[in-house]
Amino acid sequence: MQISMPISDKTRKRLWAKSGNRCAITKIELVLDPTGECDESIIGEECHISAKNSGGPRYNPNLLEVDDYNNLILLSRSYHKIIDDNPTYYTPQRLQSIKKSHEEWVRKTLEFEIRNIKSKRHPETKISFLTRIMSGSQLLNVISGCHGYDFDNDELHNESEVELVGAFLQNAQDWGDLLSDMESGERVRAKHVLTQDLQELEDNGLWVFGGVVSRKVKISDEITTWRISVLRVFRSDNPEIIKVGFDSTNHKKITEHL
């Protein structure tokens, strides 16, 4: 028996973020401001790969959760109608493949454009300072709801440091990708695990700094804005670190900026 519920906010955010605000087939932008006066029009639709109702295109009676992320694809209104008018061509398997390829295209395009922008030293990408991250809660705020990641670290001295820093940054990105689907209890767990990771880095003389920046990305000759999570792992004696309000007796009151 199918379970039909409204699409959750978490699922909706995940779908739009991973799709890059683009139609999975045409790649056109789905939130537009044609007047330039912040009067935005939404021309994208969250489409079911397998229909919710019997008799609908690609209906599957064995599919239990029809409003789950895995059964949704983000399309323009016109292509929503096209796929539903042509269900023998746009099969569930074909649509799943289109969705997977599109999300991979978004990820790779973003990574390329970030590297390209950084190499050209565009002024809008300059990061004036980053705040030291001292808790899992702070770290979640930095990695939550981002379209991409810009992570880097100081030169590492041995294989142990490489494994430690590499695992931390990979875990941070993995948590960032999963946050939109996590329940409250799972978020509590994530905060605890990340706090432990930060402490392990600090025990090894490594501090984490982070922040969120907006970067303009050019995709198919169109400019759009992406929310990018920035993390840096520095040695605690890095001369670029500026200490503000340092209290040697209580590390929780230390605030550093880069």
Whether 172 and 93 share a structural domain: no
Residue 56 DSSP code: S
Residue 15 covered by a domain: yes
Residues 6+ apart with CB under 8 A from 60: 50, 92
- Nearest to residue 61, comparing CAs of 130, 115, 132, 1? 1
Residue 60 covered by a domain: yes
Whether 130 and 105 share a structural domain: no
How many domains are contained in the chain? Answer: 2
Locus of tokens 């398997």: 93
Q: Is the dihedral of CA 214, 123, 242, 154 positive or negative?
A: positive
Final residue of a structural domain among 109, 141, 161: 109
Residue 182 covered by a domain: yes
Q: Confidence band (pLDDT; 50, 70, 90) for 76?
A: very high
User: What pTM value is reported for the model?
Assistant: 0.51
Whether 82 and 132 share a structural domain: no
Residue 77 covered by a domain: yes
Whether 190 and 214 share a structural domain: yes
Model pLDDT for residues 161-205, shown as the tens digit of each residue: 999 999 999 888 888 877 766 777 888 888 899 999 999 999 999
Task: Assess contact for 46 and 174: CB atoms under 8 A.
Answer: no
Q: Which structural domain range is residue 249 located in?
A: 121-257
Q: How far is CA 159 from CA 164, 167, 204, 234, 241, in A?
A: 9, 12, 13, 16, 25
Query: Could you tell me which residue, 98 or 2, shows the higher pLDDT?
Result: 98
Whether 179 and 62 share a structural domain: no
**CA gap 15, 144 in Å, rounded:** 14
Locus of tokens 């694809």: 73
Model pLDDT for residues 231-256, shown as the tens digit of each residue: 999 998 888 777 654 444 444 334 44
Whether 16 and 65 share a structural domain: yes
Whether 102 and 43 share a structural domain: yes
**Could you tell me the maximum CA-CA distance found in the chain, to the nearest angstrom?**
69
Q: Check whether 128 has a pLDDT greater than 60.
A: no
Residue 114 covered by a domain: no
Q: Which pLDDT value is given to residue 2?
A: 52
Whether 100 and 162 share a structural domain: no
Q: In one letter, which amino acid is 19?
A: S
H/E segment holding residue 131: strand 131-133
User: Which tokens sit at 180?
Assistant: 């939109």
Q: Which pLDDT value is given to residue 184?
A: 78
Q: Is the dihedral of CA 63, 65, 67, 68 positive or negative?
A: negative
Residue 191 covered by a domain: yes
Q: Which pLDDT value is given to residue 58?
A: 94
End-to-end CA separation in angstroms for the chain: 55
Final residue of a structural domain among 63, 82, 109: 109
Model pLDDT for residues 17-57, shown as the tens digit of each residue: 888 888 999 988 887 655 555 556 788 899 999 998 888 99
Final residue of a structural domain among 109, 143, 171: 109
- Nearest to residue 125, comparing CAs of 210, 209, 223, 213? 213
Residues 6+ apart with CB under 8 A from 226: 110, 147, 148, 214, 215, 216, 217
Quote the percentage of the chain above a pLDDT of 70. Answer: 76
Residue 173 covered by a domain: yes
Buried b (16+ CB within 10 A) or exposed e, 218-228: ebeeeebebeb
Q: Which pLDDT value is given to residue 258?
A: 46
Q: Check whether 116 has a pLDDT greater than 90.
A: no
Whether 197 and 87 share a structural domain: no
Whether 160 and 245 share a structural domain: yes
Whether 242 and 162 share a structural domain: yes
Whether 201 and 234 share a structural domain: yes
